[in-house]
Amino acid sequence: LRTSTAANIGLENLLDRGGGAEQEPARVLLMDARTETYEKIRSRLKGGIQLDLATDPNAGLFQAAEGGYECVIVSTALPDVDPLRLCSQLRSLDRTRFLPIILLADRDDDARIIRGLELGVNDFFVRPIEPHELTARLVTQIRRKRYNDRLRASVAQSIEMAVTDALTGLHNRRYLDNHLQTLFERAVVRRRPLSVMIVDLDRFKSINDSFGHDGGDDVLREFARRLRQNMRGIDLICRFGGEEFVVVMPDTDGPVAEKVAERIRAEIARTPFAIGKEGQAVNVTISVGVSSLRGQADDAGALLKRADMALYEAKRSGRNKVVG
Ligand code: GH3
Ligand code: MG
Ligand code: MG
Ligand code: MG
């Protein structure tokens, strides 16, 4: 029929806009107890949209959460279940929160449509199903979802970049500034130990002088890798700046923190770094200052300051050392 063809052409144009040449077909889930509705809609949607059916609302909810769908059509023709309740469940689950919902209702169902819109349904459609209109509404929702997904991903990436050190991939100082206080307060409230270490590479300027700035960068990257390898998942590891690194160790008291620091110091001193294309061997040593939480009256700034003073002492007394 004419409408059907027009709907298909409109669909392809709209879905292609802004997308790559290899745009995936959009998967849409219809929640409806009647297979006739499904067959009717599906026969009018070709290319661009793949329609699945869930006749059981609970299975449908599960299916929608499984991912891969870009829109859900919730029909009011679901016996034994309140379709609006289903809509609010879709809105509240993490996995379906950003999934557009189109309510498929009967002509005299104004009250339910309004309630649905209040609950966060994105659009509605009134029977009888007119393919051109339904397609246009679906395409609008799918395009908006694709746009919002890209936007969300790019915001998340920007946030990630703002707290990550580009050279080493470790957290940066901004991240530490935001999280040290939280870890500190958590330790105080729970009366758990907490330790901090500040690591500074020894005579790093001479490494740069001998092997160039790129050689120095290789050393920093390799050091970060070894540091990460030696710490636990719950430790906060960050590049504080230049060739200085800070590690915050929750649930770790002074003696244990010093042992950890000593293990890393020894490992760094024992195994030369391979830098540049030729894998040239470079001997690296580090100095480490360690400090630990002192009771309820302590503060995060003082904790860092004590680690810094211990580091200064390690440098002053000959380097390649841990001072606690
Ligand atoms: P010390 O044992 O007293 O710590 O001596 P040092 O030479 O390591 O200390 P200093 O603070 O004098 O020099 C640190 C050097 O680190 C100076 C700076 O050019 C270099 N540096 C800082 N950031 C980077 C970086 O991202 N890449 C490279 N290659 N070098 C860096
Ligand atoms: Mg220095
Ligand atoms: Mg140094
Ligand atoms: Mg330094």
- Ligand 1 neighbourhood includes 211 CB (under 6 angstroms): no
- Ligand 1 neighbourhood includes 217 CB (under 6 angstroms): yes
Point out the catalytic residue in the list 36, 70, 160, 243: 243
- In the chain, % of residues over pLDDT 90: 77
Active site residue 243: yes
Which residue's CA is the closest to the ligand 1 atom numbered 22? 242
pLDDT band at 23 (very low <50, low <70, confident <90, very high): low
Among all bound ligands, the one having the nearest atom to the CA of 198 is 4
pLDDT at 24: 76
pLDDT at 19: 46
Q: pLDDT tens-digit profile of 249-306? A: 999 999 999 999 999 999 999 999 999 889 999 999 999 999 999 988 889 999 999 9
Residue 18 has pLDDT above 60, yes or no: no
Helix spans in the chain (H): 2-16, 35-44, 57-65, 83-92, 110-118, 131-162, 173-190, 204-230, 254-270, 300-316
Task: Confirm whether pTM is higher than 0.95.
Answer: no
DSSP code of residue 1: -
pLDDT at 131: 82
Q: pLDDT tens-digit profile of 218-240? A: 999 999 999 999 999 999 999 99
Residue 3 has pLDDT above 70, yes or no: no
Instruction: Give a three-class secondary structure readout of 34-103.
Output: CHHHHHHHHHHCCCCEEEEEECCHHHHHHHHHCCCEEEEEEECCCCCCCHHHHHHHHHHCCCCCCCCEEE
> 21 or 284: whose pLDDT is higher?
284
pLDDT at 31: 95
d(CA 63, CA 117) in angstroms, rounded, equals 23
- Ligand 1 neighbourhood includes 203 CB (under 6 angstroms): yes
**DSSP-derived 3-state class of residue 121:** coil
Q: pLDDT tens-digit profile of 181-217? A: 999 999 999 999 999 999 999 999 999 999 999 999 9
Report which secondary-structure segment, H or E, holds 291.
strand 286-292
- Ligand 1 neighbourhood includes 127 CB (under 6 angstroms): no
Residue 7 has pLDDT above 60, yes or no: no
User: Average pLDDT of 71-84?
Assistant: 91
Which of 208, 243, 321 has the most ligand 1 atoms within 8 A of CB, as the residue to mutate? 243
pLDDT at 20: 47
Q: pLDDT tens-digit profile of 167-177? A: 999 999 999 99
pLDDT at 15: 55
Average pLDDT, the chain: 91
